Amino acid sequence: MDRIAITGGAQLNGVIPVSGAKNSAIKLMAASLLTDEPLRLTNMPRLADTRFLGKLLTRLGVSVTESDGPDGQQTILHAPEITSGFAPYDLVRQMRASFNVLGPLVARSGQAKVSLPGGCTIGARPVDLHLQALEALGAKIDLHEGYVYAQAPRGLKGAEISFPIVSVGATEHAMLAAVLADGVTVIKNAACEPELVDLQECLNAMGAKVEGAGTPTVTITGVARLKGATHAVIPDRIEMGTYAVAAAMAGGEVRLTNARPELIESLSVKLEEAGATVVRTEDGVIVKRNGSRLNAVDIETAPFPGFATDLQAQFMALMTTANGESHIRETIFENRFMHAPELMRLGADISVHGGEARVRGVAQLEGAEVMATDLRASVSLVIAGLVARGETVVSRIYHLDRGFERLEEKLGACGAQVRRIKGDGEPEL
């Protein structure tokens, strides 16, 4: 398995272009199942997760073609017919979001057999809300031997879906299924993340009638069929925020481009509170720190537009060398402080009690061998390694490759001393 080695001490100075959003791209790819015409997605990231989903879609009858088009990296997906409604465990387990092929398969072909995605290292994340939404739309759901059997031979029907808690994945799944349902579907207590707006725009470009994404109520008027379309994937706000934190950690000046500053406003405010300079631009942000020590600040994760849970680990890394004591409260996922013990191997002073971590800033981190436990935790260790004395080696970086495109290249272009150490073979996921 590959590892990443970071020699700390170098400031970051330069430009980092932000890739398309992983969390949006994989749901947009699933939308290709809804039409027999080609769907062209531009600003597409090249990641392990998009590759995993591409393999699954190919099995279901979708041709997946990646290329460099006039608008940059693009993926063209075309499913003239659904050749299989079976999504096996060995593919679904590699990425939870691949479970979202269930709704589009049932919406288009009337039936599907999709594996339950299994456990998750950062929390249970059950799919019961997904299944309740499909049942509300008229699908008959049976669970047997780890698989979901869903049938709607006469098609899905519009319905009111009221989620008891906010769920990004369940909201997206309901939207993907309801666009071909007969009648009007109203989703209440919907998630409001920007990726949902991106999904709405793509579906509407395909001929759907969706409104309200980005608010707690989404209304979908079903149509008989969808057509092909071209859609640009929204910039990745988590990648943007990650590099903003990296710049604040290492010092220097980094300009993040091809992005939208309003997508990380909650983070930018906290970076400024800590003592970094954040300049909003038309296509991103500039993050500067002159070398002075940052101040400790508290954060609490919350649904968008609050502080993103997917930036919590990165911000914890930033606070490990800040002046004072910070408190980090995680409200979205249980068990999402697994990076804390690895940061402590670098000399961080962190104590965890339930859903809250207390971080006392230290003057200096020391390089060591550490292990990634999940996607966002892996990059938090890279960020800490940027300032740790000596060399930090991060193993199990297949987690990192799921969500960050050309990380070594992007950081290296700004002066970071970071390199990939090639391993033997592919990891067992």
| Residue 142 marked as a ligand binder | no
pLDDT given at position 378: 87
Structure tokens at 162: 């009221």
Q: 409: left (phi > 0), else alpha (psi -120 to 50), else beta?
A: alpha
pLDDT at 95: 84
User: In the predicted model, is pLDDT for residue 400 greater than 80?
Assistant: yes
Confirm or deny that 60 is annotated as ligand binding: no
Instruction: Provide the annotated active-site residues.
Output: 120
Q: Grade residue 39 by pLDDT with cuts at 50, 70 and 90.
A: very high
Q: Which residue type is seen at 283?
A: D
- Is the pLDDT at 124 greater than 70? The verdict is no
- φ/ψ of 77, rounded to 5, equals -115, 130
**Residue 165 CB neighbour total at 10 angstroms:** 8
Lowest-confidence region among 19-33, 144-158, 228-242, 415-429? 415-429
Give residue 22's pLDDT: 95
Q: Which residue has the higher pLDDT, 119 or 12?
A: 12
- Name the least confident of 73-77, 142-146, 342-346: 142-146
To the question of whether residue 323 is assigned a binding role by annotation, the answer is no
Per DSSP bridges, beta strands 147-151 and 140-144 are antiparallel
Q: What is the pLDDT of residues 152-194, one digit of tens each?
A: 999 999 999 999 999 999 999 999 999 999 999 999 999 999 9
Question: 108 labelled as ligand-binding?
Answer: no
Tell me which of 2.30.290.10, 3.65.10.10, 3.30.565.10, 2.40.37.10 is the CATH number of domain 22-232. Answer: 3.65.10.10
Does the pLDDT of residue 376 top 90, yes or no?
A: no
CATH topology of domain 3-18+235-421: UDP-n-acetylglucosamine1-carboxyvinyl-transferase; Chain (3.65.10)
pLDDT tens figures, 264-317 = 999 999 999 999 999 999 999 999 998 899 999 999 999 999 999 999 999 999
> Does position 17 have pLDDT exceeding 70, yes or no?
yes
- CA torsion sign, 220 to 263 to 328 to 404? positive
Q: Which residues pair with 187 in a beta bridge?
A: 161, 218
CB atoms within 10 A of CB 33: 29
Query: Is 125 a known ligand-binding residue?
Result: yes
Query: What percentage of residues in the chain have a pLDDT greater than 90?
Result: 87
* Vertex 97: Cα angle to 95 and 100 (nearest 5): 135
113 annotated to bind ligand = no
Tell me the domain boundaries of the chain: 3-18+235-421, 22-232
| Mean pLDDT calculated for residue range 67-74 | 91
What region does 214 belong to: left with phi over 0, alpha with psi -120 to 50, or beta? left
For residue 357, list its beta bridge partners: 328, 352
Positive or negative: CA dihedral 33, 34, 35, 41: negative
* Listed range (54-63, 394-403, 409-418) with the worst mean pLDDT: 394-403
What is the model's pLDDT at position 118?
65
Does 200 score more than 90 pLDDT?
A: yes
For residue 374, what is the DSSP state?
S
- Where does the pLDDT of residue 417 fall: very low under 50, low under 70, confident under 90, or very high at 90 and above? very high
Residue 376 to residue 178: CA distance in whole angstroms: 31
Residue 427 labeled ligand binder = no
What confidence category does residue 424 fall into, taking pLDDT thresholds of 50, 70 and 90? low
Q: 254-263 pLDDT, tens per residue?
A: 999 999 999 9
C-alpha to C-alpha distance for 45 and 12, rounded to whole angstroms: 23
Tell me if 152 sits within 8 A of 139, measured CB to CB. yes
Q: Is 128 annotated as a binding residue?
A: yes
120 has a pLDDT exceeding 60: no
Question: Which residues, in sequence order, are bridge partners of residue 288?
Answer: 253, 277
Q: Any binding-site annotation on 96?
A: yes
Q: How much is the pLDDT for 425?
A: 52
Name the pLDDT band for 208 (thresholds 50, 70, 90): very high
Cβ–Cβ < 8 Å for 400, 407? yes
pLDDT of residue 314: 97
Per-residue pLDDT at 336: 78
Is residue 64 scored above 70 in pLDDT?
yes
The burial of 164, by beta-carbon neighbours within 10 Å (0-12 exposed, 13-18 middle, 19 or more buried), is given as: exposed
Is 332 assigned to a binding site? Answer: yes
**Reported confidence tier of residue 82, pLDDT bands at 50, 70, 90:** very high
% of the chain surpassing 70 pLDDT:
97
